[in-house]
């Protein structure tokens, strides 16, 4: 059984706040002297950043200036915060208006000079250890921990190599396979799903990007059918996703789509690679994966390390299709590879597209023609929701806070509203409607209706802890529900007893029961008898839905499940609900970013209520996750590596 940390907890500094450390703070370095100790006390560095830096300095065997040590510690910090490197030009952002930090922090130019001269970058007399790499890029100098530089290099070189040639296929065969799967094209039909399939046939690597409900899974099922036809049937297809839950959902979606080849099975990326904790993956450079096509779903959640292992393991003559929404939250580990690939600039141009593949007239109407030619097809037509949600989501992505505020305040836009935290009557009424529907269906033993009710509404919080986090809002929802006449009065947030209508969140992967971290189920009566669990557990079952399929478990089979009355936005990734209530904290926080807000709003199919102030909402739209990486533009390294 494994536990995925993808719940927004992210460790003690998960809210991104920087506060000065007291001596009892576990992130404080005990013997903190020197400039690193000072930066630790100020809250900029964690103990881990300081300890790793001291170790690197010790191993390098030479004198390392304080300035270079600051650079090393900031590079460690950058990885801890999700970047693959330190963007040295952005040092002033770290200083902000903190006087203590400003007094000791070198300028970007001083830092770059000190690093270029340092044994950490150049190597010392005692050995070849050079733990840091200094590179230049269009975004200014970048400082890497060597391990991450190597991973990025591998991704760059494998993708560059794959871009330089194309599979040897006949365009007339492609046209007939695409017609067979999609039906004949209409005149001037600029159908991006169809274009994605045409490009997949002639590309070693294709990115299929798009927001929720734009038909990514639908398109992948058809791409696989096209590729299978071109291979004469029997193409070996590896379908994978970063988490167990995403893989299970992908499997359910693909199985329900008649277009997809029947034999495909979705697994986690780790399982595809035979990658167990603490060991190297079974498949890699010297032992390539057998598949002809490898599809990665929810690629936005894939870390750079996992992407580098995957690309190392695919055969050069296997197609790779990366699918996902680049605007969503990135991996909890370092890297935002999908967003980098979608927005980045390639060092080498792609091999020419075979003539006759794409209709020139059709392509002249495609807005992002350059993207298509680079092998990045972005689907834009929403098939699931429209109206206000799509407009608000688009404005959030553009960083257009004024439009977001106009839309949420516009009385004609009824599907997205902003409500004040002092006026929660509507939210309370939504919760009551949700709870009563859940309870009624569960007491009647109607699993399908109970699961429909469960997904009818969800409270999503940016934070896990605190009054405005999952902790506080779960209590609030429970208090509201306990006052309803149809609910048991002894409801509790952390109850271990089960009752009909209780929503549950699974917190760990469990192969035996086929449940995954993040799955939500509901306790229903089986018709046998009681409302609460008796010692044998008879009378109640926990039901789950996977695609079209329902399954039930005895409550005692679920070792890792907790009552769920609210959840973090991180954990809601990959799920959809009819209505969503997004709780913003009263004060803006570093965690509250454009990506987080976009992810929350796009979980809803029909309506969104945002609880918070216009100021905090606008600040969230303006705050972008800036993960530094060298995959966005060509980079150069002065030192031999």
Ligand X SMILES: Nc1ncnc2c1ncn2[C@@H]1O[C@H](COP(=O)(O)OP(=O)(O)OP(=O)(O)O)[C@@H](O)[C@H]1O
The region, left, alpha or beta by phi > 0 then psi within -120 to 50, assigned to residue 343 is: alpha
488 is in an annotated binding site: no
383 or 549: whose CB is closer to ligand X? Answer: 383
Which residues from 263-282 bind ligand X, rule CB under 6 A? none
Q: Please indicate if the annotation marks 215 as binding a ligand.
A: yes
Q: Would you say 288 is a known binding-site residue?
A: no
Paired strand residues for 505: 520, 562
Options 215, 326, 521, 588; binder of ligand X; rule CB under 6 A: 215
382/612 with CB nearer ligand X? 382
The smaller minimum CB distance to ligand X, of residues 215 and 435, is found at: 215
Q: Which stretch binds ligand X (CB under 6 A): 130-138, 209-217, 465-473, 499-507?
A: 209-217
238 is in an annotated binding site: no
Q: How far is the CB of 114 from ligand X (least distance, A)?
A: 46
Candidates 139, 190, 218, 363; binder of ligand X (CB under 6 A) is: 218
Which residue, among 577, 620, 581, has the nearest Cα to 385 in the 3D structure?
577
Among 82, 212, 242, 469, binds ligand X (CB under 6 A): 212
Residues 272, 264 contacting (CB under 8 angstroms): no
Strand order in the sheet with 376-379: 266-268, 237-241, 293-296, 319-324, 205-210, 376-379
Residue closer to ligand X (CB basis): 213 or 521: 213
* 4, 69, 217, 599: which one binds ligand X (CB under 6 A): 217
Structural tokens at position 370:
């350059």
Q: Does 599 bind ligand X (CB under 6 A)?
A: no
Q: Is 284 annotated as a binding residue?
A: no
The upper half-sphere exposure of residue 239, i.e. CA atoms within 13 Å in the direction of its Cβ, equals: 23
Min dist. Cβ of residue 215 to ligand X (A) = 3
Q: Are 229 and 398 in contact (CB under 8 A)?
A: no
Q: Is 217 annotated as a binding residue?
A: yes
What is the full DSSP assignment across 346-378? -SSPPPPPPTTSS-HHHHTT-TTHHHHHTTEEE
Q: Does 213 bind ligand X (CB under 6 A)?
A: yes
Closest CA relative to residue 390, chosen from 607, 81, 113: 607
Binding to ligand X by residue 137, rule CB under 6 A? no
Options 206-214, 362-370, 489-497, 584-592: segment touching ligand X (CB under 6 A): 206-214
Is residue 527 annotated as involved in ligand binding? no
Q: Which is nearer to ligand X, 203 or 217 (CB)?
A: 217
DSSP type of residue 613: -
Q: Which stretch binds ligand X (CB under 6 A): 205-213, 403-411, 511-519, 622-630?
A: 205-213
Residue 382 C-beta: closest distance to ligand X, Å: 8
**Rounded Cα gap, residues 330 and 165, in angstroms:** 30
Give alpha helix (H) positions in 10-62: 34-41, 47-60
Contact 198, 185 (CB under 8 A): no
Report CA-CA distances (Å) from 125 to 68, 69, 70, 120, 130. Answer: 17, 18, 22, 11, 11
Residues 379-398 that bind ligand X (CB under 6 A): 383-384
Q: Among residues 246 and 504, whose Cβ is nearest to ligand X? A: 246
The binding site for ligand X (CB under 6 A) comprises 193, 210, 212-218, 383-384
Q: Which residues are annotated as a binding site for ATP?
A: 210-217
Q: Which residues are annotated as a binding site?
A: 210-217
């Amino acid at each position: 059984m494994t536990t995925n940390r993808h719940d927004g907890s992210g460790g003690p500094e998960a809210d991104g706040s920087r506060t000065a450390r007291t001596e009892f703070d576990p992130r404080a370095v005990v013997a903190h002297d020197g400039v690193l100790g000072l930066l630790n006390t100020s809250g900029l560095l964690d103990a881990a950043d300081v300890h790793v830096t001291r170790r690197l300095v010790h191993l390098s065997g030479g004198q390392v200036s304080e300035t270079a040590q600051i650079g090393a510690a900031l590079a460690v910090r950058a990885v801890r915060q999700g970047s693959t490197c330190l963007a040295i030009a952005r040092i002033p952002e770290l200083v902000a208006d903190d006087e203590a930090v400003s007094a000791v922090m070198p300028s970007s130019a001083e830092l770059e000079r000190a690093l270029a001269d340092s044994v950490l970058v150049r190597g010392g007399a005692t050995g070849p250890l050079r733990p840091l790499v200094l590179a230049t890029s269009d975004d200014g100098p970048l400082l890497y921990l060597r391990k991450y530089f190597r991973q990025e290099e591998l991704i760059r070189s494998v993708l560059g190599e794959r871009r330089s040639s194309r599979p040897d296929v006949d365009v007339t065969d492609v046209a007939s396979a695409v017609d067979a799967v999609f039906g004949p094209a209409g005149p001037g039909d600029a159908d991006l799903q169809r274009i994605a399939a045409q490009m997949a046939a002639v590309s070693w690597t294709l990115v299929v990007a798009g927001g929720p409900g734009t038909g990514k899974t639908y398109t992948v099922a058809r791409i696989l059918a096209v590729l299978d036809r071109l291979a004469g049937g029997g193409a070996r297809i590896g379908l994978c996703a970063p988490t167990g839950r995403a893989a299970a959902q992908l499997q359910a979606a693909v199985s329900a789509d008649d277009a997809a080849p029947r034999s495909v099975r979705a697994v986690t990326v780790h399982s595809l690679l035979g990658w167990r904790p603490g060991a190297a993956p079974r498949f890699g450079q010297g032992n390539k994966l057998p598949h002809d096509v490898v599809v990665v779903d929810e690629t936005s959640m894939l870390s750079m390390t996992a992407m580098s292992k995957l690309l190392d393991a695919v055969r050069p003559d296997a197609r790779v299709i990366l699918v996902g929404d680049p605007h969503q939250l990135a991996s909890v580990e370092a890297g935002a590879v999908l967003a980098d690939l979608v927005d980045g600039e390639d060092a080498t141009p792609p091999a020419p597209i075979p003539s006759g593949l794409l209709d020139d007239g059709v392509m002249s109407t495609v807005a992002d023609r350059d993207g298509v030619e680079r092998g990045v097809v972005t689907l834009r037509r929403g098939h699931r929701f429209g109206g206000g949600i799509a407009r608000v989501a688009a404005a959030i992505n553009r960083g257009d806070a004024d439009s977001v505020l106009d839309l949420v305040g516009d009385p004609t836009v009824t599907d997205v509203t902003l409500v004040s935290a002092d006026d929660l009557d509507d939210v309370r009424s939504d919760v009551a409607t949700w709870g009563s529907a859940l309870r009624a269906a569960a007491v009647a033993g109607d699993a399908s209706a109970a699961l429909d009710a469960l997904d009818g509404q969800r409270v999503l919080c940016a934070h896990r802890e605190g009054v405005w986090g999952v902790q506080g809002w779960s209590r609030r929802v429970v208090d509201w529900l306990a006052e309803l006449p149809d609910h048991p009065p002894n409801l509790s947030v952390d109850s271990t007893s089960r009752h009909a209508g209780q929503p549950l969140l699974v917190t760990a992967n469990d192969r035996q029961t086929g449940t995954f971290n993040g799955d939500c189920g509901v306790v229903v009566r089986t018709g046998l008898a009681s409302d609460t669990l008796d010692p044998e557990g008879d009378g109640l079952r926990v039901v789950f839905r996977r695609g079209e399929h329902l399954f039930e478990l005895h409550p005692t089979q679920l070792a890792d499940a907790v009552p769920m009355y609210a959840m973090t936005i991180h954990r809601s990734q990959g799920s959809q609900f009819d209505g969503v209530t997004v709780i913003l904290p009263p004060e803006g926080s570093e965690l509250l970013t454009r990506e987080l807000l976009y992810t929350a709003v796009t979980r809803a199919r029909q309506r969104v209520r945002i609880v918070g102030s216009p100021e905090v909402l606008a600040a969230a739209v303006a705050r972008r996750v800036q993960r530094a990486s060298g995959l966005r533009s060509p980079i150069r390294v002065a030192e031999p590596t």
